[in-house]
Chains A and B, each alone.
Chain A
Amino acid sequence: MTEPPDLVVVGAGPAGMAAAATALAGGLRVALLDSGTALGGQYWRHPPEHARAALPTDDLHHGLDRYRALCEALAAHRTAGRLDLRLGHHAWSAVREGDGFAVHAVDRREAPRESAVVLRAPRLLVATGAYDRQLPFPGWDLPGVLTAGGMQALLKGGGVAAGSRVVLGGTGPFLLPVAAGLAARGVEVVAVCEAASPRAWLRHPGPLLRNPGKWAEGAGYAATLVRHRVPVSPRTAIVAAEGGERVTSVRIASLAADGSPRPGTERRVEVDAVGVGWGFAPQLDLLAPLGCSVTDSADGNAVVAVDGGQRTTVPGLYTAGETCGVGGAALAVNEGRLAAASVLADSRATLVPATKPLAALRSAVARQRAFARAMALAHPIPPAWSSWLTDETVVCRCEEVTAGSIRAACADGAHDHRQIKQLTRAGMGWCQGRMCGPAVHCLTARRRAYEPAERLVATPVTLGALADLDEGPPASAASADSSETDKECP
């Protein structure tokens, strides 16, 4: 593509793919970048295109027709020179520049070598998704304990199961596809520990009835789990993992209504891998520094505030998918389309979608958002989860800060995760609080929504990559250090 794009889309998951396809269909030129090696994001995570024959993972997917249709549409626009597709490109910063935006990325297609790239456009759409939300428990840093999404990513992206005897735990319907995927590949899934009670759903029958597609999807997973004899236990949790060089067993307990383990119910189960996830935390790294407003979602996360057309409070900046709250791939696709329709309208494109489909899209998004909200309310973080932490439990994996140190800092008056960071170093390491942030927040200020600390760089960038920027680094890059020298980057 020689002419500059009208729109840059960051993230090629369901939301970003749908957004790019809609904007292209409306006549815009689009640059679409993703740090991954294939289109699809987390839901449609695939091995790179050239490797799919050697690594078949299609059987683990749902909704592949839609994925293929989006891939084909994007490929056609790419051939026509209207789509600049940049896989293997990690955006580390997005800044306002004049009337538009500049997205700074590192090209990692030849990793570990990397080079710097800047993409500019008058409009920016960020669809960076989410990552697994974690709650610590004794032994959660033993090798073999993975995030549930991490297990799924290894399976869908690399065809690899993390273990042969696995327990899954946490909360939310996402545990089911992970269990089904593992079981389909011959893994013995000994238990799925769901902290919530299925009865919680009965308090929100409306959204459930209005989203029959979700029923069907759930029923599909349930059938797979029954076929493979995978037991799903409500109101239970993995309260500890045990082992030496790797996990060898977990302790599972029934939970009281507040989420505390019921005395006398604990049992030990032998495993060689564990997958845990407590919903997801939206990936707001590129959005927060641009100054867009956030709002509280029902699951305790701060999410980006958008209008009925996915516009953020920053003019020219749009967002779609899990950045607006966790709600699954179908919602992400619809929000992506809606966001692109707004981009088209705002850029006075000639082929703005007709009003009727737009109205249908809006009502689908509203219906699916209501479902997502009901889901969040039905699968809360158990209020008393911290009762299964011992003082020795590592909370911050990077800096190895224990629950005891965090409790001591709270006793000394720290009242949010930023103060805890200053007092204990929790959240100061490599991951910059992405893993421990939500938990530290719950331990200190659980009444408020979790708003991640602002991170000026979304991925470590080497000074070498910055040095080859043709025009010198932007203002924030002075502190965007090398990953080798200083990991306490901003």
Chain B
Amino acid sequence: MSEIVVDGEPLPFVEGQTVAAALVATGRVAWRTTRVGHRPRGVFCGIGVCFDCLVTVDGARGQRACLVPARPGMTVTTGEGDDD
């Protein structure tokens, strides 16, 4: 099994999974908070339509975790508000 690095911690995934699938597989359903109400958010639509699942991938902000295929060594930072 390969690993991505989420907030500095290794996270295993199966080749072919998206970043969101890798996160959900380990039981995480929330990984950021909203700008106004600071509500927890994670995957909702699973197909790139709702933008709830935003993460930073290899330094690029505002990526939809449900669309980005996980790749070994990829760094993912969670917790961003959606305004930055």
A246 touching B16 by the CB < 8 A rule? no
Q: Which one of A18-26, A45-53, A66-74, A376-384 contacts B?
A: A45-53
CB-contact partner of A141 in B41, B47, B57, B66, under 8 A: B41
Q: A residues within 8 A CB of B21?
A: 154, 157-160
Closest-CB distance, A167 to chain B (whole angstroms): 15
Q: A residues within 8 A CB of B18?
A: 157-158
Q: B residues within 8 A CB of A35?
A: 48, 67
Q: B residues within 8 A CB of A270?
A: none
A51 touching B15 by the CB < 8 A rule? yes
CB-contact partner of A158 in B17, B34, B63, under 8 A: B17
Knowing A111-B68, A112-B57, A131-B47 are in contact, say whether A55-B40 is a contact too (CB < 8 A): no
B69 touching A48 by the CB < 8 A rule? yes
Q: Which of B1-31 contact A (CB under 8 A)?
A: 14-18, 20-22, 24-25, 29-30
B69 touching A111 by the CB < 8 A rule? yes
Closest to A49 in B: B16
CB-contact partner of A145 in B16, B25, B44, B49, under 8 A: B44
Closest-CB distance, B49 to chain A (whole angstroms): 5
- A145-B44, A430-B82 provided; 16 other pairs, C-beta below 8 A? A50-B15, A55-B17, A111-B57, A111-B69, A150-B44, A152-B46, A158-B21, A158-B22, A163-B29, A399-B36, A400-B35, A430-B54, A431-B50, A434-B49, A434-B50, A435-B50
B45 touching A435 by the CB < 8 A rule? yes
A431 touching B47 by the CB < 8 A rule? no
How many residues in A have their beta carbons less than 8 Å from beta carbons of B? 53
CB-contact partner of A484 in B35, B37, B61, under 8 A: B61
Q: What 1/0 mask marks residues of chain A from 388 to 399 whose CB sits below 8 Å from any chain B CB?
A: 000000100111
Closest to A152 in B: B46
Closest to A276 in B: B44
Q: A residues within 8 A CB of B79?
A: none
Q: What 1/0 mask marks residues of chain A from 246 to 258 whose CB sits below 8 Å from any chain B CB?
A: 1000000000000
Q: A residues within 8 A CB of B24?
A: 154, 158, 160, 162
Closest-CB distance, B36 to chain A (whole angstroms): 4
B39 touching A150 by the CB < 8 A rule? no
Knowing A160-B25, A162-B29, A400-B37 are in contact, say whether A37-B69 is a contact too (CB < 8 A): yes
Knowing A141-B41, A400-B39, A429-B82 are in contact, say whether A111-B63 is a contact too (CB < 8 A): yes
Closest to A246 in B: B29
Q: What 1/0 mask marks residues of chain B from 46 to 74 whose CB sits below 8 Å from any chain A CB?
A: 11111110100110111100111100000
Q: A residues within 8 A CB of B68?
A: 111-112
Knowing A52-B16, A162-B24, A245-B30 are in contact, say whether A483-B62 is a contact too (CB < 8 A): yes
When chains A and B are docked, how far (Å) is the Cα of A149 from the Cα of B55?
A: 21
When chains A and B are docked, how far (Å) is the Cα of A113 from the Cα of B57?
A: 10
Closest-CB distance, B70 to chain A (whole angstroms): 9
Closest-CB distance, B56 to chain A (whole angstroms): 9
Q: A residues within 8 A CB of B46?
A: 146-147, 149-154
Closest to A434 in B: B49
Knowing A154-B21, A159-B14, A430-B82 are in contact, say whether A246-B39 is a contact too (CB < 8 A): no
The 15 sampled A-B contact pairs (Cβ below 8 Å) are A35-B67, A47-B17, A50-B15, A55-B16, A141-B41, A144-B29, A146-B45, A150-B46, A154-B21, A158-B17, A158-B20, A158-B25, A400-B34, A430-B82, A483-B62
CB-contact partner of A429 in B14, B39, B51, under 8 A: B51
A484 touching B67 by the CB < 8 A rule? no
Knowing A108-B67, A434-B50 are in contact, say whether A398-B20 is a contact too (CB < 8 A): no
A143 touching B63 by the CB < 8 A rule? no
Closest to A243 in B: B40
Knowing A431-B50, A431-B51 are in contact, say whether A245-B40 is a contact too (CB < 8 A): yes
B14 touching A397 by the CB < 8 A rule? no
When chains A and B are docked, how far (Å) is the Cα of A400 from the Cα of B33?
A: 12
Closest-CB distance, B72 to chain A (whole angstroms): 13
A143 touching B62 by the CB < 8 A rule? no
Q: B residues within 8 A CB of A113?
A: 60
Q: A residues within 8 A CB of B69?
A: 37, 48, 111
Residue of A52, A55, A142, A150 contacting most chain B CB atoms (<10 Å): A150
Q: Which of A440-458 contact B (CB under 8 A)?
A: none
Knowing A54-B16, A159-B14 are in contact, say whether A147-B45 is a contact too (CB < 8 A): yes
Q: B residues within 8 A CB of A434?
A: 49-50
